[in-house]
Amino acid sequence: MTLRAPRFLDPETPPKIVTLILLAGVSALTMNIFLPSLPGMAEHFDVPYALMQLSVALYLALSAALQIVIGPISDRFGRRHVVLGSLILFLLATVGTLLAPNATVFLVFRMAQAVIAAGMVLSRAIVRDMVSDAEAASMIGYVTMGMSLVPMIGPVIGGVLDEAFGWHANFGLLLVLGLVVLVLCWRDLGETATLQKMSFAAQMRQYPGLLTSQRFWGYCLSAAFASGCFFAYLGGAPYVGNVVFGLSSSQIGVLFALTAVGYAAGNFLAGRYSVRIGMNRMVLMGTLVTTAGLLVLTLLSLLGLTNAVVFFGLTVSMGLGNGMSLPNANAGILSVRPELAGTASGLGGAFIIGGGAGLAALAGALLPPGATEMPLVLLMLASSVASVLAILWVIRRARQLGLSG
């Protein structure tokens, strides 16, 4: 599981693990750094909160669509070229968000920022290129554990920057970090894929082989519903923190970090124990942890015993559970057809992020002016229960096929 130290500008050398962490990290940071600023951004552009909240849902929707093609393109032309091109386009889109004169233009460039999804997709595929099936879940766990350190402090920094300098500062920081990661990938990210000789159209015809696999669908659905809890949380928590509990942007940012702390801990457990316990059992354990925490939050909300600390504090269980389950579910997605790791990662990511976009939008719709936190809590609980049912389906199918895990 040790990665070879790369040589400067050697296109054939695998990257250092820190490069993969930061590549995935800038993708995750783009999704959440500005969340504490959403209420203020709505005021700045003089639009309803629900419209500005679309900057989350539309970003996720386009990210899902892009992931369908990012994987096959990287299988055909290589991980390195796709990563570098995506980072350049991301930087241009970020400049557009900073110069946007109105909400419509901002949302257009915000959607264009979704091209950075290549970082999340291909960091997983690169891991799968370099290690065996048995090690993939563990390595992805370590990568995402390190990656989580970046978005963990993202909302905290975003909230402080918003109060000190306004929401533009968040996107200015993304511009600087994107440039840093571009330089790092240019220097360190060698090609890891065995390039496919088939045409792009021929690669797309490989999709039915994945789509007809019950195990592929089971892993995708479990990951989609598990992460769907978090995406719904991203869509609704800024409203709950600001309107329901009367918190400032910086306070919301600090409380957002609690979920990421749980996620980092879950990633550590995935990296430490996935090989020993098995992918499927780790996914099941993680989804059960998330469901248990959300069930407690639901009961406390029904009894009227919630406050800001209780609401945000109990999301630690969601972070912990997702940190345990998602690396293993992603490794399961890639294991169905290892020779098409990029394609499987992209298609699986499209389902996961597409479902997240829908749940983020639904969370915004369920929180009209005057709403409490209850609709959001119930939506998150329902999504988590569905993730448990999906992995139980995978375990049942694996037993029928005589597979371990």
Mean pLDDT of 284-301: 95
Task: Quickly state the pLDDT bin for 5 (edges 50, 70, 90).
Answer: very low
The whole-number pLDDT of residue 81 equals: 87
- The percent helix, strand, coil of the chain (3-state, each to 5) is 85, 0, 15
For 47-92, the pLDDT digits (tens) are: 887 788 788 778 878 887 887 788 778 877 788 889 999 999 999 9
What's the mean per-residue pLDDT of the chain? 82
pTM for the whole structure = 0.70
Q: Which of 19-33, 148-162, 387-401 has the lowest mean pLDDT?
A: 148-162
Q: What is the DSSP string of 238-293?
A: HHIIIIIS---HHHHHHHHHHHHHHHHHHHHHHHHHHHHH-HHHHHHHHHHHHHHH
361 vs 235: CA distance, rounded Å: 7
**pLDDT (tens digit, 9 = 90+) per residue, 182-239?**
999 888 887 766 666 666 666 666 667 677 788 888 998 999 999 888 888 877 888 8
Q: Name the least confident of 16-30, 137-151, 281-295.
A: 137-151
Residue 343 identity: T
Q: What is the mean predicted confidence (pLDDT) over 4-8?
A: 42
Rounded to 5 degrees, φ, ψ at 402 are 75, 30
pLDDT confidence of residue 236 = 86
How confident is the model at residue 206, as a pLDDT? Answer: 66
Instruction: Give 18: exposed, middle or buried? Use CB within 10 Å, 0-12, 13-18, 19+.
Output: middle
Burial of 201 (0-12, 13-18, 19+ CB in 10 A): exposed
Q: Quick one: pLDDT at residue 138? A: 65
Percent of the chain with pLDDT over 70: 85
Residue 378 has pLDDT above 60, yes or no: yes
| Torsional sign, CA 25, 31, 33, 36 | negative
Per-residue model confidence (pLDDT) at position 212: 77
Those residues with Cβ within 8 angstroms of residue 280's Cβ, 6 or more apart along the chain or in another chain: 328, 332, 391, 394, 395, 398, 405
Tell me which amino acid residue 372 is: T
Q: pLDDT tens digits for 301-352? A: 999 888 998 999 998 999 999 989 988 888 888 777 766 666 777 777 778 7
Confidence at 133, pLDDT banded by 50, 70, 90: low
**Least confident segment among 36-45, 84-93, 166-175, 286-295:** 36-45
The answer, yes or no, to whether residue 4 has pLDDT greater than 60, is no
Architecture of domain 17-193+206-401: Up-down Bundle (1.20)
The answer on pLDDT for 9 being more than 50 is: no
pLDDT: is 48 or 139 the higher one?
A: 48
